[in-house]
Amino acid sequence: MTVSLHDRFRGLMAGIAVGDAVGRPVEGSRAVSDWYVDDLFSQSARPLYSDDTVMSMALAESLLECDGFDGEDIATRFAEAWSDEPHRGYGRNVVKVFSAVKRGIDWKTAAERQFGGAGSYGNGGAMRVAPVALWAYPDFEEVKRLAGDTARVTHTHPVGVEGAVIQAVAAHRALRDHFDRDRLLADLDSLARTDEFRAKLEALARALERGDDEYARLHLGCWVAADKSVLTALYCFLLGSDFEDTIRRALFIGGDTDTIAAMAGALAGARWGIDSIPRTWVVEGFGKMVRLADRLFERTP
């Protein structure tokens, strides 16, 4: 079945929210059972999203309202969103950045101060970056540049930045009519600059060959560091047969399930479109993410 580009845009944005909300209740768990998702959606209350979706929304809104990258605007939107709803599951270190921004400290200074000046190598830049692939579509070079810029608003360590670039490039490739796994992996081989991601790309190749989720958990990782989660999400997507299978695989691997499933969900939604998301999997924020996708699609050439 042919999937329109518009449906792919919608699938990417909705996929973030769905993966995030499904993964949030079992964050830190291991080997989540298959029955979990069915049980979750049998309840009356919609699953709630976390900071992954909040910041994806804020980033998309900033790109739209500012007609491109504006670091101060993005940082301000992040800080305001955290201040309004601090219960959304923000990491302790990024909260320090937002708190500093709220006190009037320049966002660059606030981000660079983390970890004694080394910057954060967490997956926060990657978990929210997928809207960049929509904003910059179909400009591959702009996707890479903008992904790095948006990551540095909070994550300045090379591993944190590279994780965001990898996720954005994967989303860009997933949006194409004829997804080419080999081309994507070649892209990532040429992009990788850090030793951490070079090593993980080798592990990814072995994991894909084995098709073993336990091996992926052990050798790719499933925690908050960018190099221990971004390629895990990519693994789930590349082996997933459809959107649902991708998400269930991410949950089975466990660990930082909300972020890994949000990143994998963005890629799966981009490839298979919004109609690939089971109709019963409606989560908090689903409609807003679709509306943001529509606005981003309106500006495509």
Tell me: pLDDT of 238 over 80.
yes
pLDDT at position 29 is 87
Q: CA-to-CA distance for 87 and 90, rounded, in angstroms?
A: 7
Tokens standing for residue 253 = 């691997």
Specify whether the CB–CB gap between 221 and 229 falls below 8 A.
Answer: yes
Residue 40 to residues 22, 46, 89: CA-CA distances in angstroms?
A: 8, 9, 19
Label residue 148 left, alpha or beta by phi (over 0 means left) and psi (-120 to 50 means alpha).
alpha
Distance CA 279, CA 267 (A): 18
Residue 31 has a pLDDT of 74
List of residues 6+ apart from 278 with CB closer than 8 A: 243, 244
- The most distant pair of C-alpha atoms in the chain lies apart, rounded to whole Å, by 52
**Model confidence pLDDT, tens digit, residues 55-85:** 999 999 999 999 999 999 999 999 999 999 9
Query: What domains lie within the chain, and their CATH numbers?
Result: 5-69+119-298 (1.10.4080.10)
| Global pTM value | 0.98
- If 0-12 CB within 10 Å is exposed, 13-18 middle and 19+ buried, where does residue 71 land? middle
**What pLDDT score was predicted for residue 32?**
83
At 216-228, the pLDDT tens digits run 999 999 999 999 9
| Tokens, residue 101 | 């921004």
pLDDT band at 1 (very low <50, low <70, confident <90, very high): confident
- 12, two tokens: 């990417």
- pLDDT average, residue stretch 136-141: 98
Mean pLDDT in residue range 273-289: 97
Tokens describing residue 213: 């989720």
Separation of alpha carbons 230 and 221, rounded Å: 9
